[in-house]
Amino acid sequence: MYRLILFVILLFIISCQKDDNIVEETDNIEYEVECIWDKSPHCAFTSIVKYNNKYYCCFREAESHIPNKSENYGSIRLLESTNGERWISVGLVKDIEYDLRDPYFSVTPDNKLMLICGSSSLGSDNILSFCHTRAYIYTPDIINSSDIKHHIISINNDDKYYSYWVWKIKWHKNIA
């Protein structure tokens, strides 16, 4: 009984202490939100970057969050805007053998636009399994080209890291 009373007292003391990490709301901030794409039943996992004075947005587009068959694999939609208000589609990265997921944009040190994404496939048990990370490199003249080839990303060019999922790219001294 003594431990229970001590526990309750400690909980009361802890709950009464002021937490300096809590931000109190003092201003009402209003944001305007507009949909820039709704031509697919499932659009998610966006990335946006400013590249050569234009904005680029990419996201996964599919029938649903998890495909139930290979015909429903997701693809990566690329949008472009000069002002952040009017967006146009400039590409669709698709692979009939893989479900493309979680795209992320990065600008390389030599001023190319890099898109990375995970690619998965349905196993014999119809469960999505991770395969590898892909990278697509764009230059200003080939943003909307369907001839873009992908590269498989491996950490330190080591085969044992072949199937690691690289979520984001950060650059340090020209090394990703």
> Tens digits of per-residue pLDDT, 99-112?
999 999 999 898 88
> Tens digits of per-residue pLDDT, 113-165?
888 888 888 877 777 777 788 888 876 666 555 556 666 665 555 555 556 67
Averaged over 30-36, what is the pLDDT? 83
**What angle (nearest 5°) sits at the alpha carbon of residue 118, between those of residues 154 and 175?**
40
Averaged over 86-99, what is the pLDDT? 90
Cα 66 to chain centroid distance, Å, stands at 15
Higher-confidence residue: 174 or 153? 174
Residue type, 102: D
Nearest residue to 80 via CA among 146, 141, 36:
36
* Cα four-point dihedral sign 127, 96, 71, 43: positive
Nearest residue to 46 via CA among 64, 67, 32, 60:
60
Average pLDDT of every residue of the chain: 78
Nearest-10 Cα torsion for 123, 164, 44, 58: -120
In this prediction, residue 105 carries a pLDDT of 93
Q: What is the pTM of this model?
A: 0.73
**Range name among 2-6, 32-36, 119-123, 125-129 with the lowest pLDDT average:** 2-6
Averaged over 55-81, what is the pLDDT? 90
Residue 26 in this model has a pLDDT that exceeds 50? yes
In this prediction, residue 153 carries a pLDDT of 60
Element (H, E) at 13: helix 2-16
Higher-confidence residue: 153 or 168? 168
